[in-house]
Each structure stands twice: as structure tokens, then as C-alpha cells.
Structure 1
Amino acid sequence: MSGFWRHATYRMATAAGVFTNTVFGLIMAYVFIALWDVKPHLGGYDQAQALTYVWLGQALLMVVSVMGGGFEDELIERIRTGDIAIDLYRPADLQLWWLAQDAGRALFHLLGRGVVPLVFGAVFFDLALPADALTWVAFLVAVALGVLVSFSIRYLVALAAFWLLDGAGVAQIAWIAGLFCSGMVLPLNVFPGVLGEVVRALPWASLIQAPVDVLLGTADPLGTYARQAAWALALLAAGRLVQSVATRRVVVQGG
């Protein structure tokens, strides 16, 4: 839980983030209203579902770290400075240690930055939020798996710094891809033809699109979990492999 309490200390930053998410939620909500007035049932959503998508996206933006800014920046810096050597000497697995930190961060942002924008949206807009608790539990499971997929992607991005020394470029490419392919800008169901099929098959779809569809009841929860878990396991295994190669590289460089 150290990741949770670490982020809880930044109260002013959290308040500013809540305000920012709410403002962007308002902007996107009115854009979606205009769009759905022209194209009702676009992507298979009615307007209430589309507005729910907007506010859930704002609530989850920092939880699943769509635009980065999580542990990966610190890990890249530790690799660049060589402090990673100290981490490798610790009696804790590097990947699991950062995963625990990121899980705490995600939980804090879910409570600290996710609840208020969603409540604001529910008060001022007609949202299609479910009344039964089981749907909310299913949604939270999908969010947890989305956090795991997000961590796995960002861990691989950070490890690229072992070879590039400065991983900022790769990180920027990753968050741009995440912003576009997670459904943060537009629901992936709106994307036409082959493009829509491709983006829905990519791991970033697990971050926003998958949890929202579970909450809206437009996707089978078990099938959604299976896809998310498959991506998480594959990416965690890839991260483990890259970490192993990178660790040998550190040993060689250290003489």
C-alpha cells in the first residue's frame, strides 16, 4: 500500500486533477451530445450510454494511466542514472515490486480522482449507470485487469531505457498509442471496418473500452476478462523475459 499513501500526500495535485478531469468531461460530454444528435446509436450506444462512456473515461484516465506518468518515469530515470543496480540487489523481484507500487497508485486514483468526476457527471447528465451491485463488481474486476495490462505495457516501455538510455521517446509513443487505442478519445466501437477490429484486438482496449462495456452491459464479462487476462499474462511474460536480458546487460556493463 506504499504506492497508495505516497500519492495520497499530493493533495493539491489531486484536487487539481479532479478539477481538470471534470472540465474535460464537460467538454467531451457536449461534443458527444452534438455527435449523437447527428448520429443516434453511433457505435451501438444511445446518448445516455455515450455520456456514461465519457464520464467513466475521465474517472479511469489516471487509474489505468492511459497517458503514462506513473512508475515508468521513475524507473526510466533509475535506469538512466544507474540506480537500477541498487534495485537489482534488493531481495525483492523487480517486476513484482513495481507492480505493487502501481497497484497502490491505481487504487488511490480510483478513489481520489475517479469518484468525483463520475458523481458530477451523474448529477448533471442523464447517464446509463446500473442499479445492481453485481454489475459494479464486474466492472471493478475489469478495471483491475485493465490496470494489470497497463502496468505490463508501461513496464516494457520503461525497460527499453536499458538500450536507449533515454526512454522518453518510447514513452511518448506509448501514451499516444494508448490515448488513441484505449477508447479514451472515442469509443473503439465507433471505428469503422478493419481499423475497428484491429484497435479492439490490441491490449490498450483493455484499459477503457473493456471496463466501460462491462458496466454498460454491452460486453460479456467473462469473455472480456479472458481477453484482458490473456494480454496481461503475455505482456507480463514478455516483461519478465526483457528484464532477464536487461539484467545480464547490467552485469556485463558493471564489469
Structure 2
Amino acid sequence: MGVFPWVAWYGFRRYTAYPLSSAAEAVTNTVFGFMRAYVLIALWHARPALGGYDVADAVTFCFITQAMIGPVQLFRGLELSERIRSGDVAIDLYRPVGLQGWWLADDIGRASAEMLLRSALPLVAGAVVFDLNVPSAPGLAAFALSAMLGVLVSFAIRYLVALAVFWLHDDRGLQSIALVMSLFFSGMILPLVVFPGWLASIAQAMPWAALVQVPADVFLGKHTGTDLLGALGFQAGWAVALLAAGAALTAAARRKLVIHGG
């Protein structure tokens, strides 16, 4: 077995080492899920069929997004930021594997652990209380693929933000901007389908839509046939573009470190 599967495996083990902590986060996500669900129910009762959703779609969307918080890591960046600040990234760059590949493998292990320990409870609790729209087996398979692509896009965005520390030295401002963009344009706060026409078009074309909105719409069956292929292609396209940008920025960061004697 190659290096990257081992890195992913150890990342998975690291993030499953404290299951009680993950359980507490799952409970928090579930509680906030119910709070959001009742807000959305009130909104859809006032505006039926808003954005092409009915009430059941809106409530299902709510619990899907709560289940996706952990895997796509909306609220936290990469530990790489701190390693760059401390200089420990020099050790990472000495490894005989690519920096981006190493951290991607670790993040895949993390996302797998989060999905196992944090995603099930919000969905199960929501299904017990509300009549959620649950897709068929092919729909669930399509959702699983879309969720994995969402994790890739999420990693690529967070990796670019982390690499900015090579030049900014302090990423707190950039992390705050990234958090706001992720929450607003991913569909986490409100489904992007309720945005006004021009804003919805812009938001749905941005990479953050691949994190939550697209997987949720796949789960709800809003994308079928060639439209489903287009939605998955949208996510894959942003993943490839952002990972390519990450590879280019990694090369630039390596040159900068070497030039400065690192």
C-alpha cells in the first residue's frame, strides 16, 4: 500500500480517537438543525414553493446541511496554517511526497471520520421528527459521490487559504473572510435557490456551492439524468481547478522558502 492510503488511515484514526467529543459535536449540530428547521418551516409557510422547494424539501435540506458541516469542515481551516507560522512546514517539505497530496490524504481520513461520527445523528433525528425526503438507492449513491467531491473542493479552498500564510504570516483575517464566504455562498445559512435571481446565479457558479448546495440538491433529487452529470461535473471541475491552483501555489511557496534560506 502506498504512502497516501496510510496517511488517510492515520488521519481517520486520529479523528476517531475521541468519540465522545465527536458525539457532543453531533448533538450540537442536531440541536441547531431543529432550530434552523423551524425557521425554514415558518419561511416556507409564508412563501410556499419558494425557490422550487416545498416544506419537506426545505426541512430535508436543513438536516443534510447539518450533516455536512463536519465532512466539509465549514468552520475550521487546516492545521497546515500553524505549521507554516511555526516553521514546522520545512519538515513537511522534506518528505519524499507532495505537500498537497499529504494534506489531502489526511483530510480525506478526517472527513471519513467526521462522516461516520457526526453525520448520522442529525439525519436520523430529523427523520424521526419530520417527514424527510429520502432518495432511492441510486440517489443515495449519487449523493455519496457528490459529498466526496464537496470534500475535495472544501480541502482545495482551505489549502489555498493555508498557503497564504507563506506571504501574509497571519491568516486570521483571511480565515474570517473564508468563513463568511463559505457560510453564505455554500447554502449553509439559506438554500441558494432563495437568493434573488442575479445573486443566485453568481452564488451557484462559485466553488462554495459545491460544498453543500449541490450535494443537498442531489440528495433531494433536483438533479437527474444529464443534469446530474452536469452538477457532478461542476463539482469535479472546481476540484480540479482549485487543486491545480494549490499545486502552483505550493511550488511558489517552496521557491520562496528556499530563496530565504529555508
Q: TM-score, normalised by structure 1?
A: 0.96
1:198 partner letter: I
Deviations 1:139-194 (A, max 9, x none): 00000000000000000000000001111221111011000000000000100121
Q: Secondary structure at the match of 2:158?
A: helix
Q: Secondary structure at the match of 2:189?
A: coil
Decide whether the 8 Å contact of 1:152 with 1:236 is kept in 2: yes
Shift of 1:68: 2.2
Provide the C-alpha distance between the structure 1 equivalents of 2:146 and 2:198, rounded to a whole number of angstroms.
25
User: Could you tell me which residue of structure 2 aligns to residue 198 of structure 1?
Assistant: 202
Shift of 1:12: 2.3
Q: Which runs of 4+ in 1 moved over 6 A?
A: none
Deviations 1:97-146 (A, max 9, x none): 0000000111111111001110000010111112x211100000000000
User: Could you tell me which residue of structure 2 aligns to residue 183 of structure 1?
Assistant: 187
User: Could you tell me which residue of structure 2 aligns to residue 157 of structure 1?
Assistant: 161
User: Could you tell me which residue of structure 1 aligns to residue 6 of structure 2?
Assistant: none
Which of 36, 39, 42 is the matching residue for 2:50?
Answer: 42
Q: How does 1:1-255 map to 2 (within 5 A)?
A: 1-69=9-77, 72=78, 74-130=79-135, 132-219=136-223, 220-254=227-261
2:46 partner letter: V
Q: Which runs of 5+ in 1 are unaligned?
A: none
Q: Which runs of 5+ in 2 are unaligned?
A: 1-8
* Equivalenced residues, count: 251
Q: Secondary structure at the match of 1:174?
A: helix
Decide whether the 8 Å contact of 1:80 with 1:166 is kept in 2: yes
Q: Which moved more, 1:11-20 or 1:155-164?
A: 11-20
1:187 partner letter: P
Decide whether the 8 Å contact of 2:27 with 2:121 is kept in 1: no
Decide whether the 8 Å contact of 1:18 with 1:116 is kept in 2: yes
Q: Secondary structure at the match of 1:218?
A: coil
Decide whether the 8 Å contact of 1:66 with 1:182 is kept in 2: no
Provide the C-alpha distance between the structure 2 equivalents of 1:81 and 1:251, rounded to a whole number of angstroms.
16
Provide the C-alpha distance between the structure 1 equivalents of 2:156 and 2:145, rounded to a whole number of angstroms.
17
Decide whether the 8 Å contact of 1:147 with 1:207 is kept in 2: yes
Coordinate RMSD, CA, aligned: 0.9
Provide the C-alpha distance between the structure 2 equivalents of 1:121 and 1:153, rounded to a whole number of angstroms.
30
Decide whether the 8 Å contact of 1:67 with 1:176 is kept in 2: no
Q: Secondary structure at the match of 2:63?
A: helix
1:93 partner letter: G
User: Could you tell me which residue of structure 1 aligns to residue 4 of structure 2?
Assistant: none
Decide whether the 8 Å contact of 2:40 with 2:59 is kept in 1: yes
**Matched-pair identity in %:** 54
